[in-house]
Amino acid sequence: EDKVVQSPLSLVVHEGDTVTLNCSCEVTNFRSLLWYKQEKKAPTFLFMLTSSGIEKKSGRLSSILDKKELFSILNITATQTGDSAIYLCAVLTSYGKLTFGQGTILTVHP
Amino acid sequence: DAGVIQSPRHEVTEMGQEVTLRCKPISGHNSLFWYRQTMMRGLELLIYFNNNVPIDDSGMPEDRFSAKMPNASFSTLKIQPSEPRDSAVYFCASSLNPGGLFFGEGSRLTVL
């Protein structure tokens, strides 16, 4: 059974802090790892990582994958209150199956 | 672009009733997923389709749950009979495999 484990499960920081969220997977036929942000409604797509060691960046968010260890981190620098959300990691297999982790609840205080 | 469209957005029903949730994926996407989200269990994959064919339904909790995709633009998730423990937000999502997943806004189900 495919397994995705995220840590920490929750995190409380102040504006301006930098946070690192972790994701590790146990899966056969790994294809890609994806990160999503979920606020009040549905998850929205952030990054898709397929190759090892190549950083994907979008503004203050960045992510990188270690394909050998099936481990990824999501970094958020200079956090803002608007970054408060659940961050979900998911693994995509070559069969097209996407399995999510439990998520990390990030709370950014002003 | 309309995005993934789900209906109803909210459903409140009594135990034992049949519930049907509907989903229209993004046009051109070839994969469709049904997820259930609760506080306790997070986001769980129930079933997914590739080119309208069910690929993996191992996440469907039990025989009370069934899903169909009669064509590329429509899918249903049915619960019969419903039970209080089925209360959750049910998400439909689509993708152009192997691309990222795009979610609908979810159907919040409450079974009394």
pLDDT in tens, B49-75: 999 999 888 889 889 999 999 999 999
Candidate from B42, B55, B103 with C-beta closest to A95:
B55
Number of A–B residue contacts, CB under 8 Å:
53
Peptide bond into B25 cis (omega under 30): no
Q: Looking at this protein, which amino acid is placed at residue B31?
A: S
Candidate from B42, B100, B106 with C-beta closest to A100:
B42
Shortest distance, CA B51 to any CA of chain A (angstroms): 11
pLDDT in tens, A51-102: 898 999 999 999 999 989 999 999 999 999 999 999 999 998 887 788 899 9
From the list A59, A81, A84, A62, the residue with the least C-alpha distance to A72 is A62
Interface with chain A: mutation pick from B43, B51, B56, B60, highest number of A CBs within 10 Å:
B43
Question: Which residues in A lie closer than 8 A to residue B102 (C-beta atoms)?
Answer: 45
Report pLDDT for A87. 96
Report pLDDT for B92. 96
Examine the pLDDT at A2 and tell me if it is beyond 90. Answer: no
Candidate from A42, A48, A96 with C-beta closest to B104:
A42
Q: Count CB neighbours of A61 within 10 A.
A: 17
Report pLDDT for A93. 85
CA A45 to chain centre: 10
Shortest distance, CA B102 to any CA of chain A (angstroms): 7
Question: Which residues in A lie closer than 8 A to residue B97 (C-beta atoms)?
Answer: 96
Of the ranges A13-17, B9-13, B25-29, B96-100, which one carries the lowest mean pLDDT score?
A: B96-100
Shortest distance, CA B2 to any CA of chain A (angstroms): 15
Report pLDDT for B61. 85
Report pLDDT for A103. 93
Q: Looking at this protein, which amino acid is placed at residue A47?
A: F
From the list A102, A54, A110, the residue with the least C-alpha distance to A81 is A110
